[in-house]
Amino acid sequence: MTPPYHSGVDEIAGRWIPLGLVYLAGAARQAGLDAGIYDAMAKGHAFPEVEERLRASMADYVAASAITATINDAVRILELAKRLRPDTVTILGGIHPTFMYEEILDSSDAVDYIVIGEGEVTLQHLLEVLEAGGSPESVAGIAFRRAGKVVRTGKRAFMELLDDLPAAWDLLAWEDYYSLVIADSRLGAISTSRGCDHGCSFCSQQQFWAKSWRARDPRKVADELAYLFATYRVNVFLITDEYPTRNRERWEAFLDAVIAKDLPIYLLMETRGTDIIRDQEVIWKYRKAGIIYISIGIETADQTALDAMRKEMVVEDTKRVIEILREQEIVSEASFMLGLPDETPESIRRTMQLVQQYNPDIANFLTYTPWPYAEGYKDLKPLIRVHDYGQYNLVDPVLEPHDMSILQVEVAQADCYRRFYMGKIIEFMTMKATFRRDYLMRITKLFMGSSFVMKKLGIGILGKIPAKLDEMRRGKKADER
């Protein structure tokens, strides 16, 4: 199950399939069980609907996956399942439970087992052992309570062959998944690789995958695209990889395999800007394969801050990345991080100046979020003002910089969005009519028409006066020092 969590941003452009649950349901089937996928998030359900679904299913096992922002709702699902049927076995997995299993098991008796790390093989083994009446201690890669104490079993190695992953595509309610930007679409997802071997200090993925990277056979991924298009009419795919382009030879082989299929599909992805520059001579293959949208994490205009994050990127290269994508009519999205510990109103102004100078098609202004299991979290703890994990979503600020208040960060975030998109509307209207122009016009309309965004942007007006007063007060205190 997915928790019924809604941050307001992810759902602006469409409804996304829970690819991880597709594989986990396949693993449950391999354990000899009947499986089902209930995506409360995509359905827009809340807990009354979740309770009704649980009551109707009377499932022997209820499993949920969670990131930090969704962990509270995920645990609540399992608590609800236990209340409805106390003998239900509950299982929790995902990145947050992997690192915070002790905190979760200590705080809720409703969680029976936590799957640590990559889940498919572990879940299958756990279900097989439980069905046979065996001891869970024989299952590597889990945590559970025994005699009031938390037990963690031995570490399980990553899968060697990702192409062997079982995929329960037939269990998805495909009508729930669509792009709001591309008309008459069915939205799917594929994974061509797992992991990232870079060391960005703020990234949770490199921790989860232990800085490893494994790839699938590019021809088999192309076959999967063709299968999903032919069987379920999926024509828009999110490539979920953390770092799909790491190996140029393998990545180009994937592009060639997809081009050879000649499918009328669109691909959306995220990768590193350095790889776009590396691949500039074959970027035409990206577009010919169907890639229409690439997201790049730029983070900040401060090169010193980038170096401290171990981002391995030069700020000035960003402009060339955006130009390369634009030449092939590929939509560029750039994400920027606000509210870093040493953030100031001036550093945010510099970031906004860089955004306007480099002019990506789409910009996201995310708030710096220190994950409770991340490197350096203890050092940042004195700056953390929000402890509700539900707000650890990169949208709501939870950390207060040394020289700004949380309110100032939130107002600055709203102002960055407003300034960027108000300028973009005029630019889009004067662009030559192309697929890219139409795509950008639609997504901007969706963004600016979102009730969540309008509420967020309203802070820029309603919060300006108290935020300005707070800035003046901080300036006065600094003068007094």
46 domain-assigned:
yes
Q: Please, how many CA atoms are within 13 Å of residue 219, restricted to the half-sphere of its CB? A: 0
Tell me what pLDDT residue 422 has.
Answer: 83
The answer to whether residue 234 sits within a structural domain is no
Whole-prediction pTM: 0.90
Q: Which of 275, 416, 403 is nearest to 337 (CA)?
A: 416
- The pLDDT assigned to 475 comes to 60
User: Within a domain: residue 269?
Assistant: no
Q: Is residue 103 part of a domain?
A: yes
Confidence of residue 211 (pLDDT cuts 50, 70, 90): confident
102-126 burial, b for 16+ CB within 10 Å, e for fewer? Answer: eebbeeeebbbbbbbbbbbbbbbbb
Domain count, the chain: 2
Q: Classify the phi-psi angles of 330: left when phi > 0, otherwise alpha if psi is within -120 to 50, otherwise beta.
A: beta
The CATH code of the domain that includes 71 is: 3.40.50.280
pLDDT at 478: 57
> Which tokens in the block code for residue 368?
């710096």
Residue 260 falls inside a structural domain:
no
In a domain, 254, yes or no: no
Indicate the residue among 127, 152, 177 that finishes a domain: 152
Please say if the pLDDT value at position 295 is more than 80.
yes
Q: Is residue 305 part of a domain?
A: no
pLDDT higher than threshold 60 for residue 200: no
Stretch 118-128: mean pLDDT, rounded? Answer: 97
**Among 122, 152, 182, where does a domain finish?**
152
* Residues 95, 374 contacting (CB under 8 angstroms): no
Q: How confident is the model at residue 24 (pLDDT cuts 50, 70, 90)?
A: very high
What is the per-residue pLDDT for 397?
94
**Boundary (domain end) residue, out of 120, 152, 184:** 152
According to the model, what pLDDT value does residue 424 have? 85
Residue 62 φ then ψ, to 5°: -125, 125
pLDDT class of 446 with cuts at 50, 70, 90: confident
Amino acid type, 224: E
The contacts found for 22-25 with CB under 8 angstroms, 24 or more apart, are: 22/167, 22/168, 22/169, 22/171, 22/172, 23/119, 23/120, 23/165, 23/166, 23/167, 23/168, 24/63, 24/65, 24/93, 24/119, 24/120, 24/123, 25/168, 25/171
Smallest CA-to-CA distance from 401 within 417, 388, 418, 413 is with 413
pLDDT tens sequence across 127-171: 999 999 999 999 999 999 999 999 999 999 999 899 989 999 999
In a domain, 266, yes or no: no
Tokens of 450: 């979102």
* Beta partners for residue 297, in sequence order: 335
Range of the domain at 46: 19-152
pLDDT bracket for residue 325 (50, 70, 90): very high
- Return the pLDDT at 264: 97
Among left, alpha and beta (phi > 0; psi -120 to 50; other), residue 180 is: alpha
β-pairing verdict for 291-299 and 331-338: parallel
pLDDT attached to residue 474: 61
